[in-house]
Amino acid sequence: MQEGRLRALKPDSKFYDLNLVTVTRKGRRPHLVLESFLETLAATR
């Protein structure tokens, strides 16, 4: 959007409302990428 190539189409009437669910295995060693993703996902709620 900084260069003017992208723009919102009907921002007042078009939007997304997503319900996301994640499933992970219990007892696995911590994985930095997965932990970062889950933190970011939780922050969007």
The pLDDT > 70 percentage for the chain reads: 91
Does the predicted TM-score (pTM) go above 0.75?
Answer: no
CA atoms within 13 A on the CB side of 44: 11
Residue for token digits 């997965």? 34
Distance CA 20, CA 15 (A): 16
Per-residue confidence (pLDDT) for residue 2, from 0 to 100: 60
pLDDT at 17 over 80: no
Distance CA 40, CA 20 (A): 12
